[in-house]
Amino acid sequence: MLRRIVPALLRALFVADWDMDETVLPFGDRASLTRDVQTIRIDHNVAPEDAIAAVARALAHHVDRARFERVLAALPDAAQDY
């Protein structure tokens, strides 16, 4: 579903090196997820406290919003919150 609404370049950023056989971990709380984002490439990471929300806003700006909302509605609540 996501592949149909997210442009190719953005899609590649989100799924590059994604191992579909890897165990799916439960979502953590927002603070834990933000710390996780901030530890990626730590030597030159400038992710702010609202990094997750900022990426969501940028993504929403570049996709068909109605289709994106339908895809989100099909995801588990924790994934939607992320």
pLDDT tens, residue by residue, 29-39: 889 989 998 99
Q: Is the pLDDT of residue 77 over 80?
A: yes
d(C-alpha 68, C-alpha 46), whole Å = 27
Q: Give me 40's structure tokens.
A: 């990626």
d(C-alpha 3, C-alpha 28), whole Å = 25
DSSP 44: G
pLDDT band at 50 (very low <50, low <70, confident <90, very high): very high
Nearest Cα residue to 56 out of 76, 39, 34: 34
For 2-38, how does the pLDDT look when each residue is reduced to its tens digit (9 = 90+)? 667 677 777 777 676 777 788 888 888 889 989 998 9
d(C-alpha 50, C-alpha 64), whole Å = 23
* 39-46 average pLDDT score: 85
Q: Please report the pLDDT score of residue 1 as a whole number.
A: 61
